[in-house]
Amino acid sequence: MQESLHHSTTANDVMERLTTTTLAALELLFSGNPELWEIIAISFQVSGIAILVATPPALLVAFVLSYYHFPGRRLLISLNSTLLSVPAVVVGLTLFILLSRQGPLGEWKLLFTQTAMILGQIALAFPILVAMGHSALQACDRRAWETARTLGANPFRALLTIMREARFGLMAALLAAYGRIIAEVGASMMLGGNILHYTRNIPTAIALESSKGEFAQGIALGLVLLVLAFSLNAFLQHFQGKGQPA
């Protein structure tokens, strides 16, 4: 009896704490807390640049893998699939060692900058873009490419035609890659150093705030990521039409 009474109080406490924390989080968001919005802006800026830089070469690789035959092609595909499952902290650590002043790229002095974070996120986004881009392009009708070429399109024009054919799949690749890098904490923490006003982004801020016991800010930032994920998916759905075969 005593025990269960004690138990129910704790459960109520927890519920109350969750509610107050979430309310405080919403208040932080909607009162336009500048520190919070700065963190959000940094996240979007870093991941935005990373995806912009990574996409063109990654899609080119995906295209080459789909439409050309050359020795080592299968091996490349397997290697790329392996990279898909490399943990972000390992990518972070590898780049950390490369970019540290003691490392081979130390001259550039990039460690603990936004550029280092961008590099880390490019490394994370690239294999996803290649893998998903490859499967999207591969699904296209090979005849589209051949027709375009026969009609006198140069390879670049033909490439654009194919990409247009595969646009839904490519868009999905883009969104999946963006979703991974904007929510990624390991590499950003190691390469950026979680510096306030500079390299503190949404995931590293959540890690820090929760270690300080400031759950409201952590939840507020988590909500931003949720809303983002939802909008990206809604956007994709819209693009894909009914989401059912025609």
Partner 1 sequence: MNNAIAKHFLKPLLACLLLSMGTVHADSDHNIRLATTTSTDNSGLLTALLPEFQADTGYNVHVIAVGTGKALRMGRDGDVDVVLVHARAAEDEFVSQGHGDKRYGVMYNDFVLVGPKEDPAGIANAKDVTDALKRLADHSATFVSRGDDSGTHKKELGLWKKAGVTATGSWYREAGQGMGKVLQIAAEMNAYTLTDRGTWLAYEKKSPLKISFEGDPLLFNPYGIIAVNPQKYPDINHKGAQQLIRWLISPEGQERINNFRIGDNRLFTPSADAGEFASFNHSK
Binding footprint of partner 1 on the chain (CB under 8 A) = 49, 52-53, 56, 100-102, 106, 108-115, 118, 154, 156-157, 160, 193-196, 198-199, 211-213
Number of Cβ atoms within 10 Å of the Cβ of 214? 14
Task: Catalogue the long-range contacts made by 107-113 (C-beta closer than 8 Å, 24 or more residues apart).
Answer: 111/191, 111/193, 112/191, 112/192, 112/193, 112/195, 112/199, 113/192, 113/198, 113/199
Residue 182 and residue 47 in contact, taking contact as beta carbons nearer than 8 Å:
yes
Of 23 and 84, nearer to partner 1 (C-beta) is 23
Q: Shortest approach of partner 1 to residue 201 CB, angstroms?
A: 13
Q: Shortest approach of partner 1 to residue 133 CB, angstroms?
A: 15
Of 22 and 193, nearer to partner 1 (C-beta) is 193
Q: Shortest approach of partner 1 to residue 17 CB, angstroms?
A: 11
Helix or strand or coil: residue 68?
coil
Of 189 and 224, nearer to partner 1 (C-beta) is 189
Token pair for 67: 């439409």
Q: Shortest approach of partner 1 to residue 246 CB, angstroms?
A: 29
CB crowding 175-209: b at 16 or more within 10 Å, else e: bbbbbbbbbbbbbbbbbbbbeeeebbbbbbbbbbb
Residue 128 and residue 180 in contact, taking contact as beta carbons nearer than 8 Å:
yes
Of 80 and 121, nearer to partner 1 (C-beta) is 121
Q: Shortest approach of partner 1 to residue 88 CB, angstroms?
A: 18
Residue 129 and residue 59 in contact, taking contact as beta carbons nearer than 8 Å:
yes
Of 31 and 102, nearer to partner 1 (C-beta) is 102
Task: Catalogue the long-range contacts made by 97-104 (C-beta closer than 8 Å, 24 or more residues apart).
Answer: 99/191
Of 17 and 82, nearer to partner 1 (C-beta) is 17
Q: Shortest approach of partner 1 to residue 231 CB, angstroms?
A: 23
Q: Shortest approach of partner 1 to residue 220 CB, angstroms?
A: 18
Of 57 and 82, nearer to partner 1 (C-beta) is 57
Cβ partners under 8 Å of residue 57, min gap 6 = 126
